[in-house]
Amino acid sequence: MSISIALTKGRLEEESIKLLDKAHYDPSELKNKGRKLVFKDKSADINYFLVKSADSITYVEHGVADIGVVGKDTILESDTNCYEVLDLGFGKCGFIVASLPENDIYKKVGHVKIGSKYPKVAKDYFKDKGMDVEVIKIEGSVELAPILGLCDGIVDIMETGTTLRENGLIVLDRICDISARMIVNKASFKMKQKEIGEFIEKIKKVIDK
């Protein structure tokens, strides 16, 4: 049986292709893709397609893709019901809480506003801390929000820390580590046990620890 794999385009794309190469699959079509979105592996009965991270989870959940490669940040923000089978060891970063140095949200008295691309992660974190905060959903360049006074602090991903540093923000807390994960549709996992099991094993062998 053939398997289909939803890869996340953008930041995780290049490393996903490298990993497939290392495991002796043939993702060559993905390297010269133009505007194409669906690709055939010439060495195995596999179809790849490239989508945005949250869509990768949606495709896997609906069984349109058997397997997905997606960041743990997107998994934590979703209510996914898929199996998370492997930490792929790339796309490493962390969820952090940050603010301007003069605005420590843990010491602020009164209403606290938090900006984030990840409102669920932010709400869960502050609920755990027993803090009642207002979470404002922001689509991008989250670091700008506290500078302009839209919020007191942010919950965001940090990789090198450059964006925070260059905008004068400091890390107040690190929530958790993030990296790319392999997810599998639950029904596919049973129905295509042999094909998916083989794929997982081959990838497992070439993951950089």
How many CA within 13 A on the CB side of residue 147?
A: 12
Contact string (CB under 6 A) for ligand PRP, positions 119-148, x = contact? ---------------------xxxx-----
Task: Give the DSSP H or E segment for 90.
Answer: none
Distance of closest approach, residue 144 Cβ to ligand PRP, in angstroms: 9
Instruction: Give me the least distance between CB of 120 and ligand PRP, in Å please.
Output: 16
* Position among 66, 77, 156, 195 found at the interface with ligand PRP (CB under 6 A): 156
Q: How far apart are CA 115 and CA 137, in angstroms?
A: 6
> How many Cα neighbours within 13 Å face the side chain of 204?
8
Residue (of 156, 112, 115) closest to 132 by Cα position: 112
159 forms part of the interface with ligand PRP (CB under 6 A) = yes
162 in contact with ligand PRP (CB under 6 A) = yes
Residue 163: CB minimum distance to ligand PRP, A: 3
152 binds ligand PRP (CB under 6 A): no
Element (DSSP H or E) covering residue 194: helix 193-206
Nearer residue to ligand PRP within complex by CB, 123 or 202: 123
Query: Which residues, 6 or more positions from 45, have their beta carbon under 8 angstroms from its beta carbon?
Result: 1, 2, 3, 195
Query: Among residues 23 and 150, whose Cβ is nearest to ligand PRP?
Result: 150
Closer to ligand PRP by Cβ: residue 57 or 184: 57
Query: Least distance from C-beta 157 to ligand PRP, angstroms?
Result: 5
Q: C-alpha dihedral over 200, 203, 206, 209, to 10 degrees?
A: -70
- Residue 183 CB, shortest distance to ligand PRP, in Å, is 20
C-alpha dist (Å) from residue 110 to 128, 133, 154: 18, 9, 17
Q: Which residues of this protein are in contact with ligand PRP, per CB under 6 A?
A: 140-143, 156-163
